[in-house]
Amino acid sequence: MNPNTSKKRIVGVSVLVILILAATAVIVINPFAGLIEKQKAAETEVVEDATVSVAVQALEPRNLQNIIQGNGNVIDPSSIDVYPEVAGTLTSLLVKVGEEVEKDQVMGTVDPSRAGMVYKESIIKAPASGTVLALPFVQGAVVTGQAPIARLGMLEELEVVMSIAERHVGSVGIGTKARLSFKAFPGKMFTGTVTRLSPVLNPASRTLEIGITLDDNDGQVKSGMFPTVELLTEYLEDVLVVPRSSLLYTGAQSYVYVVDSSNVAHRRDVEIGMQVSDMVQIVSGLEIGDRLVIQGQSLLTDGAAVRIVQ
């Protein structure tokens, strides 16, 4: 065999072996390299998944107004009931609701006659000048001296009456301010002042009747209207308040989460005070400037990393 040919064969075999080893290295090593990259990505994803997205609100002092809301009824406190002098049939009714009458004006007549006995008709006169507010009976009805056939109002100063629950009695007194709204005047708010408190509680409903003097110099409000009333009771200035939904509870203990400058959440036990609608006063446990978690707090634990979103 030619020596040169033998040398060429040996070189060719060597090159082939090297190529085979290189290919084997690529096949074996690359999968592990890919696996390592996947593990790194998974670890990064786990770290990102451990961060909780929350919304926060910086706390600042604000005023808090407590209110008692209810429905009222506009009445004329100086109204007068008109009674017939005798019992019998209401033979005529000469006035209408809303009509103004003068003192001693004839409002109707009553026939006291009975079977076998004929009497002269009795005249019903207005005891004072005023406006007819109500006519409980119609012509032809049987009336007695114990039931009024009409109600007259002076309409000099109207009053709004409403009832408040027993638990609110201690918060309302003479001079308490009120806001009133009427369906007849959308968007307009009237004001008033509590000027009368019933001396007794209604034993059936456990409520107290109060009277509110209405500020209505233009005379827009009419007797018989039904307003929505807001009584302005306790008023606090420059206090910390939080949304009711931000509070969490462990038994009787209420707590919230705040976020520090490193975006780490911390649990704060708090003492709550006055509650108005969906806002709650914080008596202790928080400070001005704290970043309160208002969304996502139920997913947090003390020391959890957070990502703040709007």
pLDDT digits (tens, 9 = 90+) for 41-83: 545 454 445 789 999 999 999 999 999 999 999 998 888 999 9
Q: Which one-letter amino acid corresponds to residue 21? A: L
pLDDT in tens, 221-279: 998 899 999 999 999 999 999 999 999 999 999 999 999 999 999 999 999 999 988 99
pLDDT at 189 over 70: yes
What confidence score (pLDDT) does residue 19 get? 64
Give the tens place of pLDDT for each residue, 197-230: 999 999 999 999 999 999 998 889 998 899 999 9
Q: Residue 208: which residues within 8 A CB-CB, separation 6 or more? A: 163, 164, 166, 169, 197, 198, 201, 202
Sequence-distant (6+) residues with CB within 8 A of 43 are: none
Q: What is the pLDDT of residue 12?
A: 61
Q: Per the structure block, which two tokens stand in for 60?
A: 């600042």
Where does the pLDDT of residue 103 fall: very low under 50, low under 70, confident under 90, or very high at 90 and above?
very high
Nearest 5°: phi and psi at 28?
-80, -45
Would you list the DSSP string of the chain? --HHHHHHHHHHHHHHHHHHHHHHHHHHHHHHHHHHHHHHHHHHHHHHHTSEEEEEEE---EEEEEEEEEE-EEE-TT-EEE--SS-EEEEEE---TT-EE-TT-EEEEEE--BTTB--PPEEEE-SSSEEEEE----TT-EE-TTS-SEEEE--SS-EEEEEEEGGGGGG--TT-EEEEE-TTSTT-EEEEEEEEE-SS-BTTTTEEEEEEEE--TT----TT---EEEEEEEEEEEE-EEEGGG-EEETTEEEEEEE-TTSBEEEEEEEEEEEETTEEEEEES--TT-EEEEESGGG--TT-BEEE--
- pLDDT score at 47: 44
Buried b (16+ CB within 10 A) or exposed e, 254-273: bebbbbeeeeebebbebebb
